[in-house]
Structure 1
Amino acid sequence: MTETSDRVLSRLMSLHPKVIDLTLGRVERLLAALGHPERQLPPVIHVAGTNGKGSVVAMLRAGLEGAGKRVHVYTSPHLARFHERIRLAGTLISEDQLIADLAHCEAMNGGEPITYFEITTAAAILAMAREPADYTLLEVGLGGRLDATNVIGSPALSVICPVSLDHQQYLGETLEEITFEKAGILKHAVPAVIAPQDPIAEAVIEARAAELDAPLLLAGRDWQVWEEHGRMAYQDLHGLLDLPLPRLIGAHQVTNAGTAIAGLRRLGFDDAACLAAVSRPEWPARLQRLRQGPLVEAAEATGAELWLDGGHNPAAGAALAEALARLPARPLHLVTGMLRTKDVGGYLRPLAPLARSLSAVSIPGETATLTATETAEAARAAGIAATEAESVAAAVAAIGAVEPHARILICGSLYLAGGVLRENG
Structure 2
Amino acid sequence: MSDSLSVAGSGGGREAVAAVWRIESARIVGALARYTGDFALAEDLAQEALAEALVSWPRDGVPHNPAGWLLTVGRRRAIDAFRRRSALDDRYAALAHELGEGGVASGAAPADPAREAEEMLWDPDRIDDDVLTLMFISCHPVLSREARVALTLRVVGGLTSDEIARALLVPTATAQARITRAKKTLAAARVPFAPPAAGERAERLGSVLSVIYVIFTEGSSASSGGEVIRFDLAGEAQRLARVLSRLVPDEPEVHGLLALLELTAARFPARTGPDGEPVLLEHQDRRRWDRAAIRRGRAALARAEKAGRGLGAYGLQAAIAECHAVAPSVEATNWDRIVLIYEALGRLAPSPVVDLNRAVAVSMARGPAAALPIVDALVSGGSLANSHLLPSVRGELLARLGRGDEARTEFEKAMSLCGNDRDRALLAGKRDALGQRDVLG
TM over 0.5: no
Q: Greater relative contact order: 1 or 2 (C-alpha under 8 angstroms, separation 6 or more)?
A: 1
Return the structure number with greater strand share: 1
Return the structure number with greater helix share: 2
Tell me the TM-score normalized by structure 2: 0.29
Between Structure 1 and Structure 2, whose CA radius of gyration is higher?
A: 2
Tell me the TM-score normalized by structure 1: 0.30
